[in-house]
Amino acid sequence: MLLFIGFSIQSQTITTDFRSQKVFLKKDTIKFDSVAINPLNFKVLNKLLKPIDPSKYKIDFNNATLVIDAIAYPEITLEYFQVPKFHNQNIHPV
């Protein structure tokens, strides 16, 4: 019984690092976030929410910048995780 309670509590954990945003493109290059992006599970979806082949775009994960053909893809959805804030801070030894 305690085992199931542990799983139940763990499954309730909600991350605030996940982002999903619809973007209407007017130009080929966009900066879509202010922090670095985790390259794992990064997705660019077309207007039908089907994945776009990664060969069709370039992504700079450190600067959260995407380059994609705005004429071919005027509407996209981005799904990604931000790098946790403690990874974005500069740590200086004292």
Judging by DSSP bridges, how do beta strands 18-24 and 75-82 pair with one another? Answer: antiparallel
Grade residue 2 by pLDDT with cuts at 50, 70 and 90. very low
* Inter-CA distances, 82 with 4, 25, 65, 78, Å: 30, 21, 13, 12
What is the model's pLDDT at position 33? 94
pLDDT tens digit sequence for 35-87: 999 999 999 999 999 999 999 999 999 999 999 999 999 999 999 999 876 54
Whether the model clears a pTM of 0.85, i.e. scores above it, the answer is no
